[in-house]
Structure 1
C-alpha cells in the first residue's frame, strides 16, 4: 500500500519574520493558490499579539478572503488562551497549533510563559478543541537542541512528548526552530517517538540551510515520518528564536524527493507553478 504523505505548507511561517508588511489581498491571493495545489494542510496564520508578530495582524481578514475546498485543511497558530478563544470562533479552521518548547528560555521568548504555564494552556487548548470539533497540533520546539545552553537530550524530548500525549495530544510535530538538527539526530529521535507512541501522528517542522535540506528529508522519511512541514523556496524562520533566521525546508525539495521515491502526492502542478511565480511578489 502506498504511504500517505502529509505535506503541511507554511506560508504563515514564511511570512512572519518579514519586516515590510505584505498586503492582505496579496497574502490571500498567494494562500488561495496554495489551497488549489492540494496540500493536506495550510498553516495560514496565527492568533497572537500584533505587537509580537505584526505581519500576521490581518489573519482574520485573510481568512475571510480564502476559497476553501474539501481536500485542504487550515491550521492557525495560537500562543495563549486568548488566541485559542479567538481561533475557535472560526469554523473554517481545523487545526490549532501551539508551540511548546522543551527549552525554558525559548518558551519565555516565544510565548512569554514558562513550560509549566504552557502545559496548562495546552490542557485548556485541548478542552476547547474537543468542544469545537478542532484538533490540536503541538510543536515540540527546540526538539533537536537549543542555542541557549538549556538541557537537551533524547530522554528529555521523550519525557515531554509522553507528558503531552498523556494529556490527550494526538499530533506532535518535532520542531527544529534554529536549524541545529542533523540526519543523525533525526534518526536518533524520530524512531524512538514513533515506536513508543504508535497511536500518535509524529511530524517534523525543520529549519535548514539549502545544503542540508535533502539529507534531513531523507533521514526523517527513512525513520518513518510521514508528516512534513515546509514552505515554498524555503522561505521563513522564527523571529523569536534568534536574529538570524534559518529558513524552512523547501517544499520543492520535498516534492522532488518523494517523486524520486515514486510517491504520487496528487498535487496540481500548474497551480504550484503559479504560486512559485507569485512568491517573487510576496517575498520581495
Structure 2
C-alpha cells in the first residue's frame, strides 16, 4: 500500500466535457454529475467560471450547480477559474469547496490558456488565496506544462520546483502537477514527483495526467510509486485540454485508476453500483 495517507480520487467531468463541440443539455450534465456525487470520490471537478467564449460548453455551470443534490454526498465540489472575475463569481456559491487555477510554467501556454502572463497570473493566485480565505474555500493550483511543453519555452525540473516553492510560499495547500498535453513518461514522473513530495510535505501534491490508453497504467504506477496519493481522472479517459492542441490527449481513465489502486490493496470505499450507472449514462454525453 501507499503511504499512510489515504488515496484521494478527483473525478473530472468538467475536463471530460469541456472540449465537446455540441452543447450538452444542462439537465443531462446535472444528472451525470449527480450520479458521480454518489460514488464516493473525494472531489468532483464539476464546472468552471470562465469566459463562455473560451469554453462555451461550461457556460451553464451555475445552472448545473443549482440542480445538484448535495444532501447525501461526501464529495467536495471543485470549480475551475482563470481570472479574478471567475474567482469572484465562484466564491459566491457556498456549495463549492475548492477553486482550481491553471498556473502554467510556460509563458506561451499561460497566454494561450488564460490570456495573461505568468507574472499577472501569480497576482491572480494571490488574490484568489485572499478570497478563498475570506469565503472558507481551498485553492488548488494546477502547475500546467509540468512535464514539458511544445512551445519552445525553457523547461526543466528546477523550473518546476521553483514555481512549486513560490506557490507554497504564498500559502497554496494543494498543487496538482499537470501534464496538459500528454508528454509525461514514467521516467519523468519518477524524476520530478518524489522530490516535490519530499521537499514540500506541507503541501498536498497531486497529479493531473493526460494519457493515451496504452500508457495510462505505467503513468499511474510511476506516480503511485513516487508517493502520490491525489489523482485526477475521468470516466473512460474522456477529455483533454482544448486550449493546448487540436489533437486531444485524454485524461487518465478512472476505471484504470480504480483497478490499479485495488491491486495495491488500497481501500477506496466507492459505490460501484452508482459508478456503473454513471458509465451507462455516459454515452448520452460523450458519444452522441
Q: TM-score range by the shorter chain?
A: over 0.9
Q: Cα distance, 1:262 vs. partner?
A: 1.5
Partner of 2:11: 9
Alignment partner of 1:80 out of 72, 83, 97? 83
Partner of 1:106: 109
Taking structure 1 as the reference length, what is the TM-score of the superposition?
A: 0.99
Partner of 1:64: 66
| Aligned residues: CA RMSD | 0.8
Q: Cα distance, 1:2 vs. partner?
A: 5.5
- For 1:76 and 1:231, the matched residues in 2 are separated by 15
Tell me, yes or no, if the aligned pair for 1:2 and 1:263 is still in contact at 8 Å: no
Q: Secondary structure at the match of 1:152?
A: coil
Partner of 1:154: 157
- For 1:237 and 1:72, the matched residues in 2 are separated by 22
Q: Output aligned runs, 1:176-215, within 5 Å.
A: 176-215=179-218
Partner of 1:249: 252
Q: Output aligned runs, 1:34-73, within 5 Å.
A: 34-68=36-70, 69-73=72-76
1:140 lines up with 2:148 in the alignment:
no
Tell me, yes or no, if the aligned pair for 1:76 and 1:87 is still in contact at 8 Å: yes
Q: Cα distance, 1:40 vs. partner?
A: 0.2
Tell me, yes or no, if the aligned pair for 1:172 and 1:201 is still in contact at 8 Å: yes
Gaps of 5+ in 2: none
Q: Secondary structure at the match of 1:93?
A: coil
Q: Cα distance, 1:264 vs. partner?
A: 1.4
Q: Secondary structure at the match of 1:77?
A: strand
Alignment partner of 1:119 out of 118, 122, 135? 122
Partner of 2:234: 231
Taking structure 2 as the reference length, what is the TM-score of the superposition?
A: 0.98
4+ runs deviating over 4 angstroms = none
- For 2:4 and 2:175, the matched residues in 1 are separated by 23
- For 2:74 and 2:135, the matched residues in 1 are separated by 20
Alignment partner of 2:273 out of 238, 252, 270? 270
Output one character per residue of 1:218-271: Cα deviation in whole Å (capped at 9) or x when no partner. Answer: 000000000000000000000000111000000000000011112110000000
Q: Secondary structure at the match of 2:97?
A: strand
